[in-house]
Chain A
Amino acid sequence: MADPKPDGGAPERPSVTDPETIARHAEYWRRNVRYLGILISIWFVVSYGFGIILADALNAFKIPGTGYPLGFWFAQQGSIYVFVVLIFVYVWLMNRLDREFQVDEGGQS
């Protein structure tokens, strides 16, 4: 359990004047935005792509062993499963990135 006090979180306040820190934060942010780009593309493809735009075409196929037309499955089941997985992947990627760039909040996970 983390320290619930409002200002008990971090040991140091990042200095915004130190050039090394500024460069490190900039690179951290660039990597973050790249992760977001990839994850949001997947988010878009499974919902708007497979579940909406391509739904009719995909409905020609059935998921083997079930009665699900594929497009319908993506729209009412599959996209939701992917959404859940995406957030947990994001959490994992960001926790790793935070540690790599020493901007994590410390403490146990």
Chain B
Amino acid sequence: MNVQSWTFLLVAASFALYIGIAVWSRASSTKEFYVAGGGVSPLANGMATAADWMSAASFISMAGLISFMGYDGSVYLMGWTGGYVLLALLLAPYLRKYGAFTVPDFVGDRYYSQVARIVAVVCAIFISFTYVAGQMRGVGIVFGRFLEVDVNTGVMIGMAIVFFYAVLGGMKGITYTQVAQYCVLMFAYLVPAIFLSILITGNPIPQFGLGGIEQSSGVALLERLDGLHRELGFAPYTEGTKSTLDVFFITAALMVGTAGLPHVIIRFYTVPRVRDARISAGWALLFISFLYTTAPAVAVFARTNLIDSVQDVPYESVPEWFTNWEATGLLSFEDANGDGRIQYVGPESSMTNELTVDPDIMVLANPEIANLPAWVIGLVAAGGLAAALSTAAGLLLVISSAVSHDLLKRGLKPDITDKQELLAARVAAGVAVLIAGYFGINPPGFVAQVVAFAFGLAASSFFPAIVLGIFSKRTTREGAILGMISGITFTAAYIVYFKFIRPDLNVAEHWWFGISPEGIGTLGMMLNFAVTVVVSRFTPPPPPQVQVLIELIRVPRGAGEAHELSA
């Protein structure tokens, strides 16, 4: 069988599995729709969280980015895993004890204010939409390249699938499809990585292969790559080019942002007890770490393979994958010196670089570059789709619950019945799918950038409000609202200024303290903390019932009862 038949077979089989699970796990109440009935086992929730978390960006783009950034790519590796420590230690157990359905629910009740709730709803919807658009683009890329259907048709097929299980099953359907999607995406990521590791270093474990000896040259793989980089005028792979301060700030923004992302937080509402929420975060990070410790190995394998297979090769004799990706426009060659050969060189070389490679294609092209069997390539396509769809579903649920629960039930129409609220949730999810699909078909040029900024925005808005809400009883409504607004406004303004208004000034010498827009969320978070603490000092303390509420969420005993307080 050829690549395309394998891809069709594997993608169709995985889709059939997701639909089967969706039919089996339909939601019949709002509690099932929002939090899967609250009875998910910690292990299953860990797996679902991992799938929810690992998006098209993690699966498709991350290893490619690291491949081109070298050491600087560590910001993604540490940033997108370290946040789980914060989540497990500072947020998840307490939010589970509180037992709300959504993040704005907690913010609104803890800060005894509808304004705080609305600010939180707006932040949640904004963050989730920017994120979901990126997922749909990932679906489009995979369909476009591997199934040779039109990108738009690809997005529509993806929408139909998500629509089916998100609208029908709510959190319950999403949870169990995510468990299946985790297995598919992890398998699809590890298989080619193991193949490559054996091929290049002779060690079947990629994490060891990365630190191993390259078989063909007998030199340590990282040393050989550093050498290639120097030779071709790139910065050494293991050293990187960003300033230490900027790496620090970007990592912190991604970590804190991870802990503040609503679609991740709500997953911890689905387990029965506080201790389950704690261990569930541990399982989630363990499952995530399989991919995140493999990714840097994939990055190095891909980088070495790419350089070895194209550098100084006559354009006439390029391999087939090269021509295939050229057709998508994500890979391009321009023969600057007219010698008919590909010169792939870095900024410090005396020659002109002639090859442009979009980082997004590295993971997808890797199996082809290494000549792996056709079924492995099909598997990677199915894995990429699983990653994109699982994250999209989680985000759509946040949007739908923000509308039906936070805006309608807790805001505009508190007297609607559970049935009506459930219907509203389904309609909102349906509309959100359509909007997400629209962005997938007509991606605004800035989607990829905006996704990275969603973290900065989450870091500078939710994280301080929730942490202070739990750890400081003195934090007041006024403090939290002003803190959230100043944090997110400052961060958004800095990003918009450097990315959209004056992109020409977006270089280190114009940045404040040398902090790039990617890392500014950390400063925004500090601002939020400072404003919240100072304003809280000068405003009247929270009412006694809120102080009692804080006492209650600090101890695990009696989880579930907090529901009555919030209702």
Bound together, the chains give a CA A54 to CA B278 distance in angstroms of 31
Bound together, the chains give a CA A107 to CA B560 distance in angstroms of 15
Q: Which of A16, A28, A40, A83 contacts B289 (CB 8 A)?
A: A83
B residues 265-300 with Cβ under 8 Å of A?
272-276, 278-279, 281-282, 285-286, 289, 292-293, 296
Q: Which of A12, A53, A80 contacts B557 (CB 8 A)?
A: A12
Q: Name which of B81-89, B138-146, B305-313 contacts chain A.
A: B81-89
What are 28 A-B interface contacts by the 8 Å CB criterion?
A: A1-B41, A4-B39, A4-B272, A6-B563, A10-B557, A16-B551, A25-B551, A25-B555, A52-B78, A55-B71, A59-B239, A66-B212, A68-B210, A69-B222, A79-B77, A80-B78, A80-B289, A83-B285, A84-B289, A87-B282, A88-B279, A91-B279, A91-B282, A102-B557, A104-B275, A105-B274, A105-B556, A107-B273
Residues of A within 8 A of B1 (CB): none
Closest to B99 in A: A6
Assuming A13-B561, A16-B551, is B556 touching A83 (CB within 8 A)? no
Q: Is there an interface contact between A105 and B557, defined as CB atoms closer than 8 Å?
A: yes
B residues 458-481 with Cβ under 8 Å of A?
471
Bound together, the chains give a CA A76 to CA B251 distance in angstroms of 12
Number of interface residues of A (CB under 8 A): 61
Bound together, the chains give a CA A107 to CA B273 distance in angstroms of 10
- B78, B289, B296: which has the most chain A beta carbons within 10 Å? B78
Q: Is there an interface contact between A79 and B82, defined as CB atoms closer than 8 Å?
A: yes
Bound together, the chains give a CA A25 to CA B78 distance in angstroms of 34
Q: Is there an interface contact between A52 and B244, defined as CB atoms closer than 8 Å?
A: yes
Bound together, the chains give a CA A40 to CA B296 distance in angstroms of 25
Could you give, for residues 56-81 of chain B, a 1 whenever the CB lies within 8 Å of some chain A CB and a 0 otherwise? 00000000001000010110011001
Closest to B77 in A: A76
Q: Which of B84, B90, B239, B275 contacts A98 (CB 8 A)?
A: B275
Cβ of B37 within 8 Å of any chain A Cβ, yes or no, is: yes
Q: Is there an interface contact between A105 and B275, defined as CB atoms closer than 8 Å?
A: yes
Q: Is there an interface contact between A68 and B222, defined as CB atoms closer than 8 Å?
A: yes
Assuming A52-B244, A90-B278, is B557 touching A104 (CB within 8 A)? yes
Residues of A within 8 A of B251 (CB): 47-48, 52
Q: Is there an interface contact between B289 and A75, defined as CB atoms closer than 8 Å?
A: no
Q: Is there an interface contact between A9 and B278, defined as CB atoms closer than 8 Å?
A: no
A residues 1-58 with Cβ under 8 Å of B?
1-10, 12-14, 16, 25, 28-29, 32-33, 36, 39-40, 43, 47-48, 51-53, 55-56
